[in-house]
Amino acid sequence: MVEFSALHEHLDGGLRAKTIIDIATSKNIDLPLDDEKDLENWFYENISTEKNQVFKKFEMTISVMQDTDAIHRVAYEAIEDLVLDGVLYGELRYAPLQHLKEKLSPQQVVDAVSQGVRDGEKDFGGEFHTILCAMRQHQNSTEVAKLAIDNFNNKVIGFDLAGPEYNFPPSLHKDACNLISESDIGLTIHAGEAADLSYIEDAVFNCQAQRIGHGWQIIEGCEFKDGQYLPNSKIAQHVLDYEIPLEICISSNVKSGASSVGIDNHPAIKLLKSGFKVTLNSDNRLMAKTKISEEFKKAENYLELDGNLYSQLVKNAIDARFTNLK
């Protein structure tokens, strides 16, 4: 059995529909549907026309993650679901400042997630950590960075800039990134998912990102020739030479409407063949209706992933774990 690593996995994008219904019912939160399958389909549907629709779905999942019991449950169940899919190492990311509507402190949010992760490890196995996300449209990234550093021994292993890319380049949060770079916490930044190559360039050269969330738009800095992406830009050459991991999420990219990329022309495997440090991830298991094993199957069925490349993807993810990068 293949032992997968989950490096780009949003906690608030992978809830079970039943859990959403249970918590919403107990808190009198209105849902668009009250049947599990129908609700799953609602999260998956109607997000392909524009990127902002994806973020609207998160408002619903985050609304049921506002007390410690609910947050613990979501984290615990995520570990179970990932292990059942063959994931024995994972880094679950979430934005702690999004879970304060019921007057929790940021530290209480972190403690609830971390305890859920520990309890999940105890009951289901595997090794799991967390990544704290700052939302790039807000101005509190240094607060999140300090929270991550303070919780390095409390299951927090990384820091991320998430949220809408356009008009919010990573360097707006350079102070937070500098704090992280001087610490034991790993740094990954969403870049090149919806926005162009310049956002990857900014993340790497100005913010010292160790990994790139999504990052498939690195192809803008390459020439496609003889089935491979050959760098013709400083940033693409740097990402290739320094083996900066790309946390690519095929189904999510296709479904989110962030670009025109399709399931049969996503560049993930061609980038892998070209020598880039590609990893495959599920991103948001609920919204994209996927899991890591399914991402590998799709790459096999649509993108010519063969046995050797399959093994390379698995190895790349192991190498890119923040436990190995730091």
Per-residue tokens: 309: 């490349």
pLDDT surpassing 90 at residue 49? no
| More confident position, 25 or 57 | 25
Question: What CATH number should be reported for the domain holding residue 163?
Answer: 3.20.20.140
The overall average pLDDT reported for the chain is 95
CB atoms within 10 A of CB 53: 15
In a domain, 305, yes or no: yes
pLDDT for position 55: 74
Asked whether residue 142 is assigned to any structural domain, the reply reads yes
Q: Let me know if 193 is a catalytic residue.
A: yes
Tell me the mean pLDDT in the region 215-229: 96
Condensed to tens digits (0 to 9), the pLDDT of residues 283-296 reads: 999 999 999 999 99
Mean pLDDT of the 237-262 span: 90
Residue 40 predicted with pLDDT over 60: yes
Which pLDDT does position 162 carry in this prediction?
Answer: 96
- In DSSP terms, 223 is beta-bridged to 230
**Residue 326 covered by a domain:** no
- Specify if 291 maps to a domain: yes
Q: Write down the residue that tokens 């304060």 correspond to.
A: 100
Q: Which of 40, 77, 165, 193 is catalytic?
A: 193
Q: Which residue has the higher pLDDT, 276 or 55?
A: 276
**Do residues 100 and 129 touch, judged by C-beta distance below 8 A?**
no
Answer whether residue 12 is part of any domain: yes
Arithmetic mean of pLDDT, 79-104: 98
**18 contacts 40 by C-beta, under 8 angstroms:** no
Average the pLDDT over 96-113 and give the result: 98
Q: Are 51 and 258 contacting, i.e. CB atoms less than 8 angstroms apart?
A: yes
The domain in which residue 160 lies consists of 4-321
How far apart are the C-alpha atoms of 157 and 159, rounded to whole Å?
7
pLDDT in tens, 137-193: 999 999 999 999 999 999 999 999 999 898 999 999 999 999 999 999 999 999 999
What is the model's pTM? 0.96
* CB burial string 224-262: b at 16+ within 10 A, e below: eeeeebebebebbebbbeeebbbbbbbbbbbbbbbbebe
Q: How many domains does the chain have?
A: 1
CA angle 251, 6, 244 (to 5 degrees): 85
Position 326 pLDDT exceeds 80:
no
pLDDT-wise least confident of 2-11, 54-63, 152-161: 54-63
Please report the pLDDT score of residue 308 as a whole number.
Answer: 93
Find the mean pLDDT for residues 81-102: 98
175 found inside a domain? yes
Statement: residue 260 has pLDDT above 80: no
Give the confidence band of 128 by pLDDT, cuts at 50, 70, 90.
very high
Return the pLDDT at 177.
99
Q: What percent of the chain shows pLDDT beyond 90? A: 90
Is residue 271 situated within a structural domain? yes
pLDDT at residue 1, rounded to an integer: 74
**Residue 168 domain flag:** yes
